[in-house]
Chains A and B, each alone.
Chain A
Amino acid sequence: MAAPGGRRLLWSGRRWLSQAEPAVSPQPPDSPQPPDSLYPPIVASATAKSKAAKQRRLEHFKQRVHTAPSIEEKLRLYGLLQRPKYVVYPQTFALNADRWYQSFTKTVFVPGLPPRTASAAAKAPAAAGVIPAAGTAPQPGAAAPAPTRTAEATAGAAPYPDVRELRALACDALLQESFYQHKRRPVLYRSQEHTPGPFLTQLVSSLVASLCSHNPLLAASSLDLKPEVNYYWHHGEEVVVHGYRKGRIDPVRFQIDDNPHLQIRVPKQLPQVVPLESDLGDVPVIDHKPSKLPLFKRQYENKVFIGSKVADPCCYGHTQFHLIPDKLKRERLVKANLEDQIEVVYRANGIASLFAWTAAQAMYQGFWSEADVTRPFVSQAVVTDGKYFAFFCYQLNTLALTVETIQNNPRKNICWGTKSKPLYDVVEDGSVKGFNDEVFFQLVRFLLNRPKEL
């Protein structure tokens, strides 16, 4: 066969010709169906320079991806054609990047976190009953720990975690990294790797270890340090500006390459927060080209990756932890008169990273823009710069963002997020001043999130 590998048009044309005879011959003479025509089916050409031919080639490509034998093959075919694409950075200095990212990913941003189920919400106030600061606990028996303990035990859930111990762990981790350990001076412009990075790693690993008895999902989880998360997608249309393809209409391609500081992957999926077809707001519409953000184009391998390959049993995501780099620290933004952009940095990071992660998880399950997801994919993220924490929860309802599939698609992806709040005020003389319990409980609640049946 003189057909080289890349030119699928030529070999498809040949196969289409040679398949004509077998289609005609095995027709029994007494079948109730109308007799098949003796001529091959009349369809548009596959190689002509016409709209119908382009349509046929597209259909053929979609058919190939749909009938791919394995997920790896599907991912390979999906990202086969390389063209210049916009590289989207989750941690960016661009102004108002979160609205742009929402429009690229068809995401609705809802401030605040989704209301948790009653049992999880009761856990933290019930746990808060152990220490004197009960606050506004909805549980009537929260004052006495013993009745709530028996109530929890009869409910079949694991006993709630000892908050004092967890808080001691967090304080110890913080003190070790910032006070007790002898360290050199931080390298210029890399102070985030010096203290907040190790603190975050230490905090999360010790919290996961202590909470695994309360959350069996964590016992089967896999912890990644500095993994790679990539996703490639098409959204919208544009005209090619220069080059030999000038004047043609092309889909706008995007690629996210993200490196979270820490990631927890689990074998079972987190439960959905709201039903698949819910509409909680509007997606911002931006009339400018993406390059105005600023966003730049590059051409390289189209990668889709969640942190490990398809063969890994822990293929769903639980929580990601992101560390804000030195370039985007609060002090620098305040010095440049950009205080309102502080929250934008956190939001843009949360939306972009979580979209990439959940969409890559969905692709690992076989869904793509032509085969939209049948169940929502939920993941969580914590974005921090060592002191200020912001929490995000993302529900992926649709992957269909290309021009044809987005027309009749009423579904939108949803991202819940909080403002950034400090975990502590200052560390001095071997003690942590002003430890914020609310932020810490939110972190613990995030780690305790699990499917209903566990």
Chain B
Amino acid sequence: LFQGVRQAQWLTKTKLVEGLPPSVLSIIDNPAHRLEEHEERVKQAISHARLWDTVEPAPKREHYCPVLFEDLIHICRLMSMKYPSLTKRMLSRNYKIAATWERESILLQVRGLNGILMNSMAPIPPVASKEEILATEAHVLETFYPISPTIDLQEVNVYRELNDTGFRDGYPYSHPHTLFFLESANVRTDRFRPEQLRAKMLMFAFGNALAKAKVLYGSDPKVLEQPIVVQSIGTDGQLFQFMVFQLNTTDLVSSDGIKNLVWVDSDQNLYEKAQCIPEVKKRVVTKPAGIYGFQPDTFKKFLALYLHGTV
């Protein structure tokens, strides 16, 4: 998307809030969760993904990005020792989403394979209070006249307006919890830039929430009693973007009224540099191999988003 998150906001009628919502921050700050113990394991996970995983000296991004993601999810899943309700989650890869909506007489839709989704049996409780939702009424969506908001979207003839969560009815893990996006192309130009990645995350989170809302409450546009919350995390192996999206209304035709909300925490580095081969200047090792600049806060946020909804 050209304008990045601003364009996505207009298309999904959303208000942006910087930083993560208070319920997630309270999980991070809660000392009872003891997130510090996992630092050692996270460092091992990063070293494994970036340094030790292949026979070659330095694995490529296509290889280490998914491996890092799998290792971090493995560490998060092992937390179900402490919180038994975490077992009620299921990952699904290669699933397809379809959602359609109208936005000021333009028909938009989100379709296709997106990322890896984590489903849970129980929905995440709404993050924003009622007052905040009502306050969004006053917020005006920013437009970027004269550029039309649909400028770089692909125009396609559709014959079926499809709304599909990707799963059949009766699926026990019916609530989408978190979406994961891995930018793992080797060449930098094939990867999304952080701004575009955030926009992609927003669009797909919105698509998932909308499809779920249409399944739960029907296709009529209305303001939702129980807002639906979907989280998403995007990474390229080093930089992490966190997002919590709350769908308050499916009435998207007009630009007034209650808006949806999104909390974004962008560009969190998990580590500064991963040195695969020791740097040697004039026959003296200046930088031995290892991980430099590890920041534990990023993993704490990852874990907090994972635990959100069950704690």
Cβ-defined partner of A228 (8 Å) among B55, B93, B167: B55
Other A-B pairs beyond A208-B74, A312-B52, 9, CB < 8 Å: A172-B172, A180-B168, A180-B171, A181-B168, A202-B91, A206-B87, A208-B78, A219-B81, A311-B47
B51: interface (CB < 8 Å): yes
User: Given A181-B95, A223-B70, A430-B170, A169–B87 Cβ distance below 8 Å?
Assistant: yes
Which residues of the partner chain A approach B70 to less than 8 Å between Cβ atoms? 223, 225
Residue of B whose beta carbon sits closest to that of A430: B170
Which residues of the partner chain B approach A223 to less than 8 Å between Cβ atoms? 70-71, 74
CB distance from A83 to the nearest CB of B (A): 19
For window 67-113 of A, CB contacts with B under 8 Å fall at none
Alpha-carbon distance A303/B54, docked complex (angstroms):
11
Cβ-defined partner of B87 (8 Å) among A165, A198, A224, A307: A165
Alpha-carbon distance A230/B56, docked complex (angstroms):
13
Chain A, residues 294-322, CB within 8 Å of chain B (1/0): the string is: 00000000010101110111000000000
A126: interface (CB < 8 Å): no
Residue of B whose beta carbon sits closest to that of A303: B55
Chain B, residues 65-87, CB within 8 Å of chain A (1/0): the string is: 01100110010011011000011
B96: interface (CB < 8 Å): yes
Interface-facing stretch out of A48-56, A129-137, A209-217: A209-217
Which residues of the partner chain A approach B94 to less than 8 Å between Cβ atoms? 183, 198
Interface pairs (14), CB distance under 8 Å: A176-B92, A176-B171, A181-B95, A198-B92, A213-B80, A213-B81, A218-B78, A220-B41, A223-B71, A225-B66, A225-B67, A228-B54, A311-B47, A430-B170
- Taking a contact as CB atoms under 8 Å apart, the answer to whether A180 and B87 are in contact is no
B29: interface (CB < 8 Å): no
A446: interface (CB < 8 Å): no
Alpha-carbon distance A179/B167, docked complex (angstroms):
9
A173: interface (CB < 8 Å): yes
Which residues of the partner chain A approach B164 to less than 8 Å between Cβ atoms? 182
A205: interface (CB < 8 Å): yes
10 closest A-B pairs (Cβ-Cβ)? A209-B77, A309-B52, A308-B52, A213-B81, A180-B171, A312-B52, A180-B167, A209-B80, A223-B74, A180-B168
Alpha-carbon distance A230/B78, docked complex (angstroms):
29
Residue of B whose beta carbon sits closest to that of A158: B81
B90: interface (CB < 8 Å): yes
User: Given A209-B87, A212-B80, A230-B55, A312–B171 Cβ distance below 8 Å?
Assistant: no
Alpha-carbon distance A311/B46, docked complex (angstroms):
13
Chain A, residues 208-251, CB within 8 Å of chain B (1/0): the string is: 11101100001110111101101000000000000000000000
Q: How large is the interface on B (under 10, 10 to 19, 20 to 34, 35 or more residues)?
A: 35 or more
Chain B, residues 141-165, CB within 8 Å of chain A (1/0): the string is: 0000000000000000000000010
Residue positions of B touching A, CB distance < 8 A: 41, 44-45, 47-48, 51-55, 66-67, 70-71, 74, 77-78, 80-81, 86-87, 90-96, 164, 166-168, 170-173
User: Given A219-B81, A222-B71, A311-B52, A173–B90 Cβ distance below 8 Å?
Assistant: yes
Cβ-defined partner of A198 (8 Å) among B41, B78, B93, B170: B93
Residue positions of A touching B, CB distance < 8 A: 165, 169, 172-173, 176, 179-183, 198, 202, 205-206, 208-210, 212-213, 218-220, 222-225, 227-228, 230, 303, 305, 307-309, 311-313, 430
Alpha-carbon distance A430/B47, docked complex (angstroms):
42
Which residues of the partner chain A approach B54 to less than 8 Å between Cβ atoms? 228
Which residues of the partner chain B approach A228 to less than 8 Å between Cβ atoms? 54-55
Alpha-carbon distance A133/B51, docked complex (angstroms):
49
CB distance from B92 to the nearest CB of A (A): 6
- Taking a contact as CB atoms under 8 Å apart, the answer to whether B74 and A222 are in contact is yes
- Taking a contact as CB atoms under 8 Å apart, the answer to whether A309 and B51 are in contact is yes
Residue of B whose beta carbon sits closest to that of A168: B172
- Taking a contact as CB atoms under 8 Å apart, the answer to whether A205 and B74 are in contact is yes
Which residues of the partner chain A approach B78 to less than 8 Å between Cβ atoms? 208-209, 212, 218-219
CB distance from B201 to the nearest CB of A (A): 22
- Taking a contact as CB atoms under 8 Å apart, the answer to whether A206 and B166 are in contact is no
Which residues of the partner chain B approach A209 to less than 8 Å between Cβ atoms? 77-78, 80, 86-87
Alpha-carbon distance A228/B168, docked complex (angstroms):
36
Cβ-defined partner of A205 (8 Å) among B77, B170, B171: B77
- Taking a contact as CB atoms under 8 Å apart, the answer to whether A182 and B95 are in contact is yes
Alpha-carbon distance A37/B265, docked complex (angstroms):
79
Which residues of the partner chain B approach A311 to less than 8 Å between Cβ atoms? 47, 51-52
Which residues of the partner chain B approach A180 to less than 8 Å between Cβ atoms? 167-168, 170-171
